[in-house]
């Protein structure tokens, strides 16, 4: 399947698309980082827009519409997270940030190619490309993120001496169409702490990474 030919599926009410061989911009957030009414409104809006695709017969038009809808929905989630003023901020603890960093790097070059990431107090941004196995099969993005989130949740909860849900179940992903968009996204990811006025330069943030020089 090429990046312009994709299937649409749902994971916990959020529309996801995964073209084989594509690169993804992913955001995972801590449980409780967005108030439930706001979260529900965002989910309902995304679902309502996604249903419009069912009436589009032309394959190319449907592909382009889905891409734009997905990008728009992702932007709404991300803007809401950046503006959050309440909820847990466990990721600002260096112990927890290091746990997440180690997990992101653990299967880099084996299951996925890790291009960039940034760990913020209540969410993480990740840019990666799933890698095919010897038979040309790609792991699902859902499986990759479930593995990372499951491991980090268990270890972080032990470190914090707490029980309960650590990550919100949904991960918000957007697949990258070309090099120009990739460059824009990577710049956005690593400069998150600069935008939040935590540091003056992204290289000063201990939990930001970019594989290639910017």
The pLDDT assigned to 130 comes to 95
Mean pLDDT of 27-52: 86
Residue 4 pLDDT exceeds 60: no
Q: Structural domain of residue 22, as residue ranges?
A: 8-210
Residue 103 included in any domain:
yes
- Asked, for residue 166, whether it belongs to a domain, the answer is yes
- Whether 133 is covered by a domain: the verdict is yes
Instruction: Calculate the CA 114 to chain-centre distance.
Output: 12
Instruction: Classify residue 183: in a domain, yes or no.
Output: yes
Q: Which of 32-36, 63-67, 69-73 has the highest mean pLDDT?
A: 32-36
* DSSP secondary structure string for all residues of 98-166: HHHHHHHHHTBTTTEEEEEEEE-SSEEEEEEEE---TTSPPPPHHHHHHHHHHHHHHHHHHHHT--S--
Residues linked to residue 180 through DSSP beta bridges, in sequence order:
none
Q: Which residue has the tokens 């330069």?
A: 201
Task: Assign 96 a pLDDT band (cuts: 50, 70, 90).
Answer: very high
Higher pLDDT, 204 or 58: 204
The count of domains in the chain is 1
- Output the average pLDDT for the chain: 86
Using CA atoms in the order 103, 105, 109, 114, what is the torsion angle rounded to 10 degrees?
Answer: 110
Position 190 in a domain:
yes
pLDDT band at 111 (very low <50, low <70, confident <90, very high): very high
Looking at residue 64, which CATH number applies to its domain? 3.30.70.1290
In a domain, 3, yes or no: no
Residue 5 has pLDDT above 80, yes or no: no
Q: How far apart are CA 65 and CA 61, in angstroms?
A: 6
Using the predicted structure, report yes or no on whether residue 10 has a pLDDT greater than 80. Answer: no
Q: Which of 7-16, 101-110, 139-148, 151-160 has the lowest mean pLDDT?
A: 7-16
26, part of any domain: yes
Better-predicted residue by pLDDT, 145 or 73: 145
Question: Does 1 map to a domain?
Answer: no
């Amino acid at each position: 399947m090429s990046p312009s030919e994709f299937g649409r599926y749902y994971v916990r009410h959020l529309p996801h698309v995964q073209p084989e061989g594509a690169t993804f911009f992913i955001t995972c957030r801590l449980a409780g980082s967005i108030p439930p009414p706001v979260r529900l409104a965002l989910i309902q809006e995304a679902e309502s827009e996604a249903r419009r695709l069912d009436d589009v017969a032309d394959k190319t038009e449907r592909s382009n519409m889905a891409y734009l809808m997905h990008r728009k929905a992702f932007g709404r989630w991300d803007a809401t997270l950046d503006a959050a003023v309440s909820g847990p901020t466990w990721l600002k603890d260096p112990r927890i940030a290091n746990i997440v960093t180690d997990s992101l790097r653990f299967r880099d070059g084996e299951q996925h190619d890790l291009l960039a990431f940034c760990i913020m107090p209540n969410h993480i941004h990740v840019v990666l490309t799933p890698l095919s196995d010897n038979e040309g099969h790609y792991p699902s993005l859902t499986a990759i993120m479930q593995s990372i989130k499951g491991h980090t949740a268990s270890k972080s909860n032990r470190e914090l001496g707490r029980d309960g849900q650590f990550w919100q179940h949904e991960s918000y992903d957007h697949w990258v169409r070309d090099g120009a968009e990739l460059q824009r996204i990577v710049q956005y990811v690593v400069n998150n702490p600069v935008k939040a006025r935590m540091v003056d330069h992204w290289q000063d943030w201990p939990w930001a990474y970019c594989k290639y020089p910017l």
